[in-house]
Structure 1
């Protein structure tokens, strides 16, 4: 009977490739947040694609991103630390991430270099200044991505969205792009193994490299005009409902 896990050699090879790639790339990311938008976007795309390639992770785009100007607030469901790299590979932006990631080895420093904004989700005092900063970033024409669930889920459903950070899109008069992320194993079935909802980063990484095959599917679900929303709660509800419908689509076959 064949194992449904990658060989030990394959796991080590993936980890070594990731370590080498992150070491080389981390130095190149220094200061890119202050560079021109085109150079920054190229660097962010290469970052996302490079991490996925090092780990042998496939990437599929279901519903493509619609044509729209820059300065878009991107909202996605949150499953794994891989979410950021999958989204960066196809839609470069700055990210809003939880404070804990800032202290992660290598990845935290790379996030800082790439312009990630780290916030304490448990502190209401952080929300207002973050909204102002995001609003200014959107008005400069730079995309900003965030995870309104505020923490990771199994990826087989959605946690309730938080409305607070949607205010930045309303203040900036920006568009909001809804993105659905789903993870599939070697059999083509949904999987929760890449989630770090209940494990730490080392365990999550080992689970990922142990999979025979992992594919991330990115669907750009819809675009909402924040200016047409009654308030941030109505905007949040629209985005949440659109993502929930896609995430739940084939979750019944999950393993």
Structure 2
């Protein structure tokens, strides 16, 4: 599996501006309290109510606001299609809630996510498809699961980099998961996620890289004054017959340019 080259230096490069300690402490306490209260309502997402997709989007947006994260959506329209593979770059565990607020569906995510406190329950309700990074032999099984869900008209979200990066640097799109779109003949919707501070500077406060723990990533996020994430909806990509060519097209769509190799991208971040 790919490994990100990001570390603490990347996180510091896009860190939050300094603020008074008392203000930061009060802000973090209020946000964590609100987030915990909202997590108590997660089981309601499992109730089969009409308009469940709208309820999930509203829940994800409210959850992000509790963390101090705001979402803006730009680019093309969000198409109400069935059986679409959604792909984006991967910066943080928060990505799941960001995309869930725009295009709710099942997520391909690290297997241990469902064991995380509180967040794991939300992941199970959001129908996470677990992928074990320590067992590549099961990857074809995961791809087959994704293809089956696409054929059945479900939206599936995957992160083709295979791991998280800081947002200043990024990795290559790996072609494996795109095989599900090729096998099912379903289109791919690339999304471009950009994290930045209120003043427009690139932000890494929500990054989940290196030796980060869930608490460290969460703590940086709730202490920052505001984190803004722009979700740019790019053009749909038809699957074609070559997963590598499809992965390359989607990577260009997500990066907005011909993407450099990930080793070079890390150098740009430093």
The TM-score normalised by the length of structure 1 is 0.88
CA apart distance, 1:205: 0.4
Q: Distance in 2 between matches of 1:156 and 1:100?
A: 25
Distance 1:123 1:65 in 2: 38
Uncovered stretches (5+) of structure 2, i.e. residues with no partner: 1-17, 260-268
CA shift, 1:40, in A, is: 3.6
Q: Deviations over 1:107-154 (max 9, x none)?
A: 112211221111113322222221221111111111100100111101
Shift of 1:231: 1.1
Residues 151-166 of structure 1 aligned to structure 2 (within 5 Å)? 151-166=163-178
Task: Name 2:83's counterpart in structure 1.
Answer: 71
Distance 1:169 1:201 in 2: 31
Which structure 1 residue ranges, 5 or more long, are not aligned? Answer: 249-253
Tell me the distance in 1 between the aligned counterparts of 2:94 and 2:125: 17
Aligned to 2:227: 214
Q: CA deviation at 1:65?
A: 3.5
SS in 1 for 2:168: coil
Matching residue within 246, 252, 258 for 1:235: 246
What is the aligned partner in structure 1 of residue 206 from structure 2?
194
Provide closer, same or farther for how the CA distance between residues 125 and 186 of structure 1 changes in structure 2, counting only shifts above 3 A. Answer: same
Structure 2 residue matching 1:169: 3-state secondary structure: helix
Q: Mean alpha-carbon deviation: is it higher for 65-74 or for 125-134?
A: 65-74
* Greater relative CO, 1 or 2 (CA 8 Å, sep 6+): 2
Q: Give how far 1:68 is off.
A: 5.5
1:20 counterpart = 2:52 = no
TM-score relative to the length of structure 2: 0.83
| Correspondent of 1:204 among 185, 199, 217 | 217
Match of 1:43 in 2: 55
Aligned partner of residue 188 in structure 2, secondary structure: strand
Q: How many Å apart are 1:3 and its aligned residue?
A: 2.1
Corresponding position of 1:251? none
Q: Is the 8 A contact 2:68 2:221 kept in 1?
A: no
Check whether the contact 1:182–1:247 (CA below 8 A) recurs between aligned residues.
no
Question: Residues 240 and 197 from structure 1, CA distance in 2 versus in 1: closer, same or farther, beyond 3 angstroms?
Answer: same
**Rounded Cα–Cα distance in structure 2 between residues aligned with 1:40 and 1:172:** 25
* Match among 86, 94, 105 for residue 93 of structure 1: 105
- Secondary structure at 2:209 match in 1: coil
Secondary structure class of the residue paired with 2:81: coil
Is the 8 Å Cα contact of residues 68 and 224 (structure 2) preserved in structure 1? no
Answer yes or no: is the 8 Å Cα contact 1:166–1:235 preserved in 2.
yes
Measured in 2, the distance between the counterparts of 1:134 and 1:143 equals 9
Shift of 1:60: 0.4
Measure, in 2, the Cα distance between the counterparts of 1:69 and 1:172: 14
Question: Matched residue of 2:171: which SS?
Answer: coil
CA distance in structure 2 between the partners assigned to 1:121 and 1:243 by the alignment:
23
Instruction: Give the Å deviation of 1:21.
Output: 0.4
